[in-house]
Structure 1
């Protein structure tokens, strides 16, 4: 699971040239998330910093959900792992409710759910997230500077083998157009 979550989060670092001073800058947070993959201390520190934010936007809430999933990876006790996964699921639901068309939030949740073993029952949003991501890509509901994020998202969707033949055909065309 750790390797699969790592691949999902690697997309977050694409296009980062330098971190800006603002601690809640998505580029800074994405870079810290990569460190958090290997460090429970960084995971806890970043989670606590984001949790202390007075006015959390949907993306910050989505990052917090991802950090909760990382806490599950770092935990050694199976019950603690499940506790963090349950918390992550609830936090993702809040983030999606606050910004249902945000590709990055949907992709983070899709990535985590895709990589959690099926028998745990954390796959209930996969189809909806996949469809929403593709719909938002079709609508070009992203900024030009997010092209690398979209490219990585499209690649991940194709590699996940969770898309229909028609969706895969569209995604392959999108991928070629994004190069």
Structure 2
């Protein structure tokens, strides 16, 4: 049975939905095994707890509402709660500066907004997120945190939207970063998160999963 496009958009549980942080931490402890996939999808934002903290260079003051630590906390809360998602979106909706990481989180807030929007507005917010991710990556192409945010969103979009064109590119970057850990600067928590997500959600081959399982934290 064919599902009308607008209805399909309405029933996407979360634009950018996937394993919870608890699932990924459990997966990492098992060496990257498959986390539970039964039950409703859960937002991937919870998988991006204080991660990549050793990698990110930014110009935002520690007292700014756009400081990475604050944005990560908002993202985690927004993943689990509609009201928090609205607050996260409003925090970043008017952001006009050019800090790449902040723009990455703005894109993530737009994707979460799509999750909670009416069926008629979902696609608009997804398209907004795609444009903002493009701007963020253009400003800082080698930032793994931004790539992880984009990958976690795009890898969960339905193919017919045509908005998942960076999945392979971002996956390759994240896979290389994980395989070359710790030489790429990933801290242990960031490595476990990336490995658990790539392996646990089936984004890598069995051979790649085996190689990742042998990488020491």
Q: In 1, are the aligned partners of 2:137 and 2:146 still within 8 Å (CA)?
A: yes
Q: Which residue of 1 aligns with 2:78?
A: 36
By how many angstroms is 1:172 displaced? Answer: 1.8
Q: Distance in 2 between matches of 1:12 and 1:71?
A: 18
Higher relative contact order (CA 8 A, sep 6+): 2
Change in Cα spacing, 1:54 to 1:90, as seen in structure 2 (3 Å) is closer
Which runs of 5 or more residues in structure 1 are unaligned? none
Q: Distance in 2 between matches of 1:26 and 1:112?
A: 19
By how many angstroms is 1:114 displaced? Answer: 1.4
Q: Distance in 2 between matches of 1:98 and 1:134?
A: 21
Q: Distance in 1 between matches of 2:162 and 2:88?
A: 27
Q: Which residue of 1 aligns with 2:204?
A: 163
Q: Distance in 2 between matches of 1:149 and 1:143?
A: 6
Which runs of 5 or more residues in structure 2 are unaligned? 1-12, 19-40, 52-61
Aligned residue runs from structure 1 range 78-89, under 5 A: 79-89=120-130
Q: In 2, are the aligned partners of 1:154 and 1:171 still within 8 Å (CA)?
A: yes
Change in Cα spacing, 1:6 to 1:62, as seen in structure 2 (3 Å) is farther
Q: Distance in 1 between matches of 2:140 and 2:212?
A: 23
Q: Which residue of 1 aligns with 2:30?
A: none
By how many angstroms is 1:6 displaced? Answer: 4.0
Q: Distance in 2 between matches of 1:87 and 1:22?
A: 24
Cα RMSD, aligned residues only: 2.4
Q: Which residue of 1 aligns with 2:107?
A: 65
TM-score by length of 2: 0.68
Task: Check if 1:49 corresponds to 2:85.
Answer: no
Q: Which residue among 116, 141, 145 is the counterpart of 2:184?
A: 141
Whichever of the two has the greater Rg, that structure is 2
1:52-103 CA-to-partner distances (Å, cap 9, x unmatched) read: 44633111010001000000000022x3100001111111111111111111
Q: Distance in 1 between matches of 2:161 and 2:93?
A: 27
Q: Which has the higher helix share?
A: 1
